Amino acid sequence: MSLELIIHVVLGNDAMTTASEAVDAISRAILTQHPDANWPLESADAGVVLDVSGNTVGRWLVEARPPKTTREILQ
């Protein structure tokens, strides 16, 4: 089994329109769950993604899945 980090973020509100805002929100979301950035993510880790205004704009989670081939990843 391999682990996949799945991130779903809805863009479009005033505080979530740029790549920088999305990256910041995702980083904050994961580091809220794992304050030590060197701690490994594990299956079933999950959380919400908030914009800088505190609005929920998405979710993230780690799932165990069978490994994919390179071809499957690139499709």
**What contacts 21, CB < 8 A, 6 or more positions away?**
15, 51, 52
Domain count, the chain: 1
Looking at residue 58, its pLDDT comes to 96
Residues 16/58, Cβ–Cβ less than 8 Å: no
6-56 confidence digits (pLDDT tens): 999 999 999 999 999 999 999 999 998 888 888 899 998 999 999 999 999
Alpha carbon 23 to chain centroid, angstroms: 9
**Domain with 32 in it:** 2-74
Distance CA 35, CA 5 (A): 17
